Amino acid sequence: MPQFDINLYPSQIIWLVVSFVLLYLAMSRIALPRISEVLEKRRDCIERDLDKAEALKKEADEVLAAYEQSIAETKAKALDIVKQASDQLAKESAARHAKLSAALVEQVKAAESTIAQAKANALADIRSIAEDITHQVTTKLIGIKRVDKKQLQDAVVAAMREHE
């Protein structure tokens, strides 16, 4: 095998050095700059994308904050509207209650006055009936045809006072 021949070593070493230098120069002047350029472009693209993503994230955070603030304001307005409606309903309810209470008081007063009038009428009727019955009883039991009306009324009034 020729590569193991010791006489050929110096020429093989020269060609190895020449090949290595040529390969090194080709790699350092042609391939590596292109690879470096591609890597630089890729890094720039990634940085732009990251900057763009960060800007979009900030914008999304701002939109989210505005959205949450809008929701909070809307909730506050809704609560205010509900409170106003509740207060209005409470006022209307109180006004209706007062009106109904006044109407009921008037009805109770009217009923009491009707009852008092009926009681007075009933007592007047009872008194006249009691006077008639007393007159008839005295005439039948005692046999007196003519009874003094004033005495009869006084006796009935006295008897009614005893039973009150």
Give per-residue pLDDT as tens, 86-98: 999 999 999 999 9
Q: Is the pLDDT of residue 65 over 90?
A: yes
Residue-wise pLDDT tens digits, 13-48: 999 999 999 999 999 999 999 999 999 999 999 999
Number of domains in the chain: 1
70 token code pair: 């809008």
Q: Is the pLDDT of residue 148 over 80?
A: no
Query: For residues 78 and 62, what is the distance between their CA atoms, to the nearest angstrom?
Result: 24
Chain mean pLDDT for the chain: 89
Comparing 54-58, 99-103, 125-129, the range with the smallest average pLDDT is: 125-129
Tokens 């904050």 belong to which residue? Answer: 65
Q: What is the pTM of this model?
A: 0.44
Tokens 């007592």 belong to which residue? Answer: 123
What domain range is 45 assigned to? 2-162
> For residues 138 and 144, is the Cβ–Cβ distance under 8 A?
yes
